[in-house]
Structure 1
Amino acid sequence: MPDSEFLLEVRCEEIPARMLEPAIRQLASRLFEQLLASNVAPGEVQTGFTPRRLMVLLKGVPEREPDRAEVKMGPPVAAAFDQAGKPTAAATGFAKKCGIRVEDLERVENEKGEYVVAEHKIEGRPTIDVLSQVVPQILRDLDWAKTMRWGSGDGPWVRPVHSLIALFGGNVVPFELFGVTSGDSTAGHPVLSPQDFAVKGGSDYRRKMSRRGIEVRFEARKKKLLEQMNEAADGLGGELVEDAALLAKLASICGIPGVIVGRFDPTFLTLPREVLITSLRDHQSAFTLESDGKLLSCFLTVMDRPDDPAGSVQAGNEWVVEARLADAKFFYEEDKKTSLADRRAGLDQLVFHARLGSYADKTARITQLSEVLCQALGWEKEQEAVAQAAELLKLDLTTEMVKEFTSLQGVMGGIYAREEGLPEPVWQAIYDQYLPASTDDPIPRSPEGQLTAIADRVDTLVGIFGLGLIPTGSRDPFGLRRAAQAVVRILLEGDLSIDLDLVAAQAVLLYGDRLEKSGEEILTSLRPFFHDRVRYLLGLEGYDYDSIEAALAVGSSSLPDLRSRVDALHSVRQESDFLAVVLAAKRIANIIKEAPEQTLREDLLKEEAEKNLYRASRQLRSEIEAAEAAGDYESGFRHIAEFADVLDDFFVKVLVMDENRDLRFNRIALLQSIHRTISRAARLTEIVVDKAELRGRNTDMQVD
């Protein structure tokens, strides 16, 4: 069956940049799913968009659905044919209903007996008919943050639709949507090339768009834009201050990328670097330039056309930038008239959460929790700086600059603290308090910053969990998953041995009677929540899921210690002796799982193999304790691996479930003792073993 391509383009009024990528992903995904359901899935999916168009090109699409057989169940054979084998009225009626001859009825047997069936061949529909049915429904059902109606009530959709290209194998897929009939025509840029033109397929579409200067492919347009911006920056003697999100946004708001070079009054360079960059980015979607680490008094942004011959676009952007920077300078200078410490009263007016109090309340809790963390870590010299940072942590929320640029919260507090001459650990802790906000961000640079960031997030997690507002599915309005992940990252990367249960329990106490859940309920919910973040982050580092589970299963009051155990497991888990012990551990666990705790008596060890096992287990316990005391978990696991032969010998030569009750209980006691010893650092039964990995060892040891 030959394959064809399907080209779909929706041309409309300008779609907000933030909606474009989600929309095209959604459109392509739903098209693929619908065609897959009809057994005409494409071999390749290409997408593209500009502010005024969405495009999907499906290649390798079968021209029609495959034929299929539909089987209808009829009456039992005993009712369909008489004793002479002649069809009864039941058989003839069923055949007539199915549109076939009685002679074409077939027999099948199932658990209920023998029945007659009619097999009906259903011819597959032409794919163009499938597309004609599903495409308008897919477009109509796309999810948008906001929609509108226009004209005589067309819509709702994100923006008014002007034209629809729908071509399958060069033929128009007929349908009507939002008052527009599908066809083979579109138009170029609304100002530079507004004339309609027809296309024959995907290659022709791209060629004719390119001729009009339009690059529909987003990644190609982004690459072209970056090249243009780097070239412009070189001409100005600088380079771009990197911002991947801003580049993606700029590439989304133009179909024909053209770079605007703008300049502003150099006196604005006295503003903090962060303020200048943020003002240009947030208000004007503009890149800042720098040279040798110093900002330049110019900026780059885009226009949806290749040039600006009259210079009016440049002049307009420069006028707006000057006004915005003047505002920023005013806010900055006004803020500096009041010190951070003198802003404390303002926190009483800022609500953290209606049921959890103000930011003044939160600050008091963070300060106390930070003190607890210092004590837990044995920090004395850092305690003063931690306390000062905690008290000042949220005060920049009262500043005009943060009200104008919410993305600068924390950063502005750090800048103001630095300008007031506060110690470096203090201002850095304030500056870095929201790090890491994503997996790409670093953790706070100073120990004091790491500690206050943990206290802040644990306070939030305990408070929101204490109200029963636990994230479900994709909903996480308070960013609790991100907060928990940040805590785990800081503990791991900062090498901080802090018991999260202890910290959370202290945070519960600091809330007093504000929480609706009990402390035990909160801790029971938080523990697996943190563990999920541990699994995710250690998984990113390349550790096997079962090694992580094995270490988590025995618990840990220290995440750096947990990772050390996972890392040690990772180093030894492929060795055949260690895997043999893992298999033995699974067998031991099955033997002892329902047995009450027994007392081991050395005088009841009768067989030489069990005596050897007892002596070896005592030596192993001493070796593991010494290795763990030195933090050398790999050595401990290797000692466990050396235990493989004596375990093998025991299970081959000794019957654990001896008829003699005393011997049986004593051997169970021995295995209970061994299980405790080899499960100190990790629950080995969580490790998944492929018997092929044992490489020649005795594999007769079955898991009972």
Structure 2
Amino acid sequence: MTTQNLLVELFVEELPPKALKKLGDSFAATLAEQLRAMGLATAESVVTAYASPRRLAAHITHVLLKAADKAVQQKLMPVAVGLDPAGNPTQALIKKLSALGADVSDPAQAVAALKRAPDGKAEALFYDSLVTGATLDTGLQKALDEALSKLPIPKVMSYQLETDCELPGWSSVNFVRPAHGLVALHGSTVVPVKALGLKAGNSTKGHRFEAKKDVVVLKDADSYVAALLNDGAVIASFAERRAEIVRQLTAAATKLGGGVRAIEDEALLDEVTALVERPNVLVCEFEKEFLAVPQECLILTMKANQKYFPLLDAAGKLTNKFLVVSNISPSDASAVIGGNERVVRPRLADAKFFFDQDRKKTLASRVEGLGKVVYHNKLGTQGERVERVRAIAKAIAQQLGDAKLVAAADTAARLAKTDLLTDMVGEFPELQGIMGGYYARHDGLGDEVANAIEDHYKPRFAGDELPRNTVGLTVALADKLETLVGMFGIGNLPTGDKDPFALRRHALGVIRMLVETECPIGLDLLLRVTADQFSAIAEFQRERIFGALFDFIYERLRGYFKEDRASQTESGIKQSFAYSSQEIEAVLALKPSMLSDIEGRLFAVMQFASLPEAPALAAANKRISNILKKEQEVDAHVSEVLLKEEAEKKLYAALKDVVPQANKQFEAGDYTASLKTLAALRAPVDAFFDGVMVNAEEMDLRLNRQGLLKSLHDAMNRVADLSRLAA
């Protein structure tokens, strides 16, 4: 069958910029998916999504005018139900056939057309029919309806339609924005579909201000992009428009010289791409006096409020120039540039005012005010929370350093939340912590404390940097642990994709800080120290909370260690590798409290798994585990007098020879060497299982052999549960 390309476009008022790309992708994908399901699109069909501020469109190649007819076999009912003992159709069968549109005027002939075939327990009747393929008219209508209903619309609005009745606007429609046009072209033929009160045609509108023609007529489906660009001054493709913005941003920054570059922000780039139909990048500037304000404040207000791209110099410092992505391209852009400069000036002036006002009060003077800010109705005020964080931070600092570290950590923890009461953070919550660092330096507290205040929220997201110093690490750990234990204590656990208190992120932050800084404090100690600060958590609840929180953190650990790791060869070349799920489970099965040890344990297990002795020892470990599980309690004690068989004597001798050395290596933290040393046990272990009956009839022999296996099991599973490596 011959095919032609299909174009569908919905022309609307300005769509929500942050949702535009998802809307465009969803619209095109659902259309294509539905057409394929109906047999109207082929396996060779290529789908291209288009999305601009005022349109959603899809171009689909190789679309049929009519889908092929399809033979369908339908199971009706068991033979015993459909036919009486004489072989005549029952009323149930006739009724079923009638519902399917079969000719039942001659019951005998209708039955003869049926097929019999076994279906599990009994023989059943099957009906063969030919289903007529869908036409594009009806199929596209269904696909379009489905595509619109499945759009990930952030918020629906209701608007009225002009109708042919005497009262205009009597009908109303619910959609993301009012729709004003619909195009549906199969080749050059209009497909008569409807949507949102609109009938499909072959014309659309271009740029709101710069289109060469008020109405852009499309010759056929394939002329869409060129016609919109030439007659409508619109770049239809989201990706092409984005690439053009990047090109212009780079060119404008390069032209300024001095290593100037536009700030990188993928989310801002996507949002700006969704705001313009034909981008034009212009260079603007503001007064240099505003550069006295912390650059984070200026950058945030320019990006968040104005959608501008600030320019940084070669050293990463903010300049007094910025880039604007305009939606118009006048011959004289001075008015556009001047307008944007006038708009940004009050924003920057506000930031300067907030900064100047905030510095009139010290952070220390704001501490008392935290007692008036509710943190959570079950966990008290921010002031009470700060006291808990202080106590946790001091306990951690005592484990990591001296009295100087304890004092610095206490100061940073006491002041870390005070910037929440400043005007700047009130206006820009994203700057919490950052502004605290600036104000701490202004108060003369020094870089160590100031950096700790700024860093105590880190890591904020996946891949974010960790706190820069030990004081910051201490306060950041205390802050995240306080949140985790407090929220688990009152039952505010994440459910599904809902995690309003970002507990998953907090748990991953704790993991990263403990693992990547090799922090020598056990997780159990950290959780108990934290729980001690919550008087509301009863003693009997703590074990339950610890268990749930341990499982929660270890679940995050599994995901963390499944990510690719990096190692460096002797020649300095970095290589990437990944731990297997078996290796990760082997280590985490022991739930080692010292998270800083886990990486070393995993690497040791990975090295052990590559040894030729590993499969046999892992299988033996699994066998030993199964034997010991059947016994209530086994004492790891061996009496040499009761060793009767030569194989058990040799295994015991090997244990006495190998285990002390392996234990010494384990205690020194050389897990790889410890496991390699234990690999020497393979031969005596194999010989033991080949020649010794563990569950001997004599009870003293049985208990002694179980004790031997328990000694072996304990020795071999200090680094990891090696039975998890068994296939």
1:284 aligns with 2:301: no
Once residues 597 and 84 of structure 2 are traced to their aligned partners in structure 1, the CA distance between those partners, rounded to angstroms, is 77
Alpha-carbon shift at residue 81 of structure 1 (Å) = 6.6
**Once the 2 structures are TM-superposed, how far is the Cα of residue 4 of structure 1 from its aligned partner?**
5.2
Preserved contact between residue 22 and residue 152 of structure 2 (Cα < 8 Å): no
Counterpart of 2:675? Answer: 637
Give the Cα–Cα distance (whole angstroms) in 2 for the partners of residues 283 and 6 of structure 1.
40
Q: Tell me the equivalent position of 1:21.
A: 21
Inter-partner Cα distance in structure 1 for 2:277 and 2:19? 15
What residue ranges of structure 1 are gaps of 5+ in the alignment?
A: 690-704
* 1:117 matched to 2:126: yes
Aligned-residue CA RMSD in angstroms?
A: 2.7
* Counterparts in 2 of 1:660 and 1:49: CA distance versus 1, 3 Å: same
Q: Does 1:205 align with 2:250?
A: no
Deviation, 1:337, is 0.8
CA shift at 1:248, angstroms?
2.3
How far 1:366 moved relative to its partner?
A: 0.7
Match of 2:143? 134
- How much has 1:391 moved relative to structure 2? 0.7
2:116 is aligned with 1:107: yes
Structure 2 counterpart of 1:73: 76
Cα distance in 2 for partners of 1:451, 1:59 equals 59
Q: Distance in 2 between matches of 1:3 and 1:675?
A: 69
Counterpart residue number, 1:700: none
Distance 1:348 1:539 in 2: 42
Q: CA deviation at 1:244?
A: 2.6
CA distance in 2, matches of 1:60, 1:638: 61
Q: Retained in 1: the 8 A contact 2:11–2:204? A: yes
Contact 1:597 1:669 in 2 (8 A): no
- Pairwise mapping of residues 503-652 of structure 1 onto structure 2 (< 5 A)? 503-513=526-536, 518-541=541-564, 542-599=578-635, 600-652=638-690
Deviation of 1:369 (Å): 0.5
154-163 or 143-152, which moves further after superposition? 143-152
**Alignment match, 2:193:** 175
**1:32 and 1:611, CA in 2 relative to 1: closer, same or farther beyond 3 A?**
farther
- Any residues of structure 2 matched to 1:233-252 within 5 Å, and which? 233-237=253-257, 238-252=260-274
After superposition, residues 34-53 of structure 1 pair within 5 angstroms as 34-35=34-35, 37-38=37-38, 43-53=45-55
Q: Secondary structure of the residue that 2:140 maps to in structure 1?
A: helix
Stretch of structure 1 that moved more, 595-604 or 315-324: 595-604
**Offset at 1:79?**
7.4
Relative to structure 1, the CA distance from residue 128 to residue 356 in structure 2 (aligned partners, 3 Å threshold; closer, same or farther) is same
In the alignment, structure 1 residue 224 sits paired with structure 2 residue 262? no
CA distance in 1, matches of 2:364, 2:89: 98
Length-normalised TM-score, structure 2 = 0.88
* Distance of 2:240 and 2:497 partners within structure 1: 31
- When structure 1 is superposed on structure 2, of 193-202 and 345-354 the one drifting more is 193-202
In structure 1, give the amino acid aligned to 2:23. A
* Other structure's SS at 1:518 match: helix
Q: Which moved more, 1:217-226 or 1:199-208?
A: 199-208
Moved more, 403-412 or 160-169: 160-169
Aligned residue type for 1:188: G
Q: Counterpart of 2:575?
A: none
**Structure 2 counterpart of 1:680, which letter?**
R
Q: 1:366 to 1:263 in 2, by over 3 A?
A: same
Q: Note if contact 2:71-2:128 (Cα within 8 Å) is conserved in structure 1.
A: no
Contact 1:435 1:444 in 2 (8 A): yes
- Which amino acid letter does the alignment assign opposite residue 597 of structure 1? E
The answer to whether the aligner puts 1:322 opposite 2:345 as a matched pair is: yes
| 8 Å contact from structure 1 (residues 256, 305) kept in 2 | yes
CA–CA distance in structure 2, aligned partners of residues 640 and 408 of structure 1: 53
Match of 1:684 in 2: 722
Q: Deviations over 1:506-543 (max 9, x none)?
A: 22221212789922232222112111221111111322
Q: CA deviation at 1:120?
A: 2.9
String of CA shifts for 1:230-281, please: whole Å, max 9, x gaps.
Answer: 2111222322233232222222211111112111111112212222222222
> What is the TM-score of this pair, normalised by structure 1?
0.91
Question: What is aligned with 2:516?
Answer: 493
Q: Which among 286, 304, 307 is matched to residue 264 of structure 1?
A: 286
Deviation at 1:213, TM superposition (A): 3.7
Structure 1 residue 307: Cα displacement: 4.1
1:635-659 CA-partner distances (Å, limit 9, x unpaired): 1221233322222222222233444
Query: Offset of 1:456 from its aligned partner?
Result: 0.7
Q: CA deviation at 1:359?
A: 1.2
SS at match of 1:511: coil
Shift of 1:27: 3.2
Distance 2:592 2:639 in 1: 32
- Alignment partner of 2:527: what SS? helix
Residues 88, 205 of structure 1: alpha-carbon distance in 2 compared, 3 angstrom cutoff: closer
Residue by residue over 1:58-109, the C-alpha shift from the partner in whole angstroms, topping out at 9 and shown as x without a partner, is 44556626614132334536973757xx646669847963626332222222
Q: Cα gap change, 1:544/1:166 in structure 2, threshold over 3 Å: closer, same or farther?
A: farther
2:691 is matched with which residue?
653
Tell me which residue corresponds to 2:175.
157
8 A Cα contact 1:463 1:515, kept in partner: no
Identity, % of aligned pairs? 34
- Whole-Å separation in 2 of the counterparts to 1:460 and 1:306: 51
Distance in structure 1 (CA, Å) of the matches to 2:68 and 2:679: 58
For 2:249 and 2:96, locate their aligned partners in 1 and report how far apart those are by CA, in whole Å.
74
Indicate the SS of the match to 1:382.
helix
C-alpha spacing 1:75/1:218, structure 2 compared with 1 (3 Å): closer
Shift of 1:502: 2.3
- Give the CA deviation at 1:175: 2.8
Aligned residues: 687
Q: Which AA in structure 2 matches 1:346?
A: G
What are the superposed Cα offsets for residues 358-405 of structure 1, whole Å, 9 maximum, x if unpaired?
Answer: 111111111001011112335443111111111110111111111111
Would the aligned equivalents of 1:364 and 1:391 in 2 still touch at CA under 8 Å? yes
Greater CA deviation, 274-283 or 92-101? 92-101
Q: Quick one: which amino acid aligns to residue 109 of structure 1?
A: P
Structure-2 separation of matches of 1:241 and 1:515: 50
More deviation in 259-268 or 304-313? 304-313
Q: Could you tell me how far apart the structure 1 residues matched to 2:269 and 2:281 are?
A: 12
Worse-matched range after superposition: 637-646 or 661-670 = 661-670
> What runs of 5+ residues in structure 2 fail to find an aligned partner?
104-108, 161-168, 565-577
Q: Distance in 2 between matches of 1:618 and 1:5?
A: 78
SS in 1 for 2:404: coil
Q: Residues of 1 paired with 2:286 and 2:120: CA distance?
A: 84
The answer to whether the 8 A contact 2:628-2:634 is kept is: no
Equivalent position amino acid for 2:349 in 1 = A
Distance apart, 1:201 and its partner CA? 5.5
When structure 1 is superposed on structure 2, of 573-582 and 545-554 the one drifting more is: 573-582
Q: Residues 652, 127 of structure 1: CA spacing in aligned structure 2 closer, same or farther, 3 A cutoff?
A: farther
Bigger mean CA deviation after superposition, 297-306 or 95-104: 95-104
Q: Is the 8 A contact 1:432 1:445 kept in 2?
A: yes
* Aligned pairs (5 A) from 1:127-526: 129-151=138-160, 152=169, 153-168=171-186, 171-193=189-211, 195-199=214-218, 203-211=222-230, 212-237=232-257, 238-293=260-315, 294-307=317-330, 309-513=332-536, 518-526=541-549
Counterpart of 1:56 in structure 2 is: 58
State the secondary structure of the residue aligned to 1:24. helix
Task: After TM superposition, give the deviation of residue 195 of structure 1 in Å.
Answer: 2.3
| Distance change >3 Å, CA 197–CA 455, structure 1 → 2 | same
Q: 1:409 deviation in Å?
A: 0.7
Partner residue in 1 for 2:164 = none
Distance 1:437 1:369 in 2: 20
Is the contact between residue 467 and residue 516 of structure 1 (CA under 8 Å) also seen in structure 2?
no
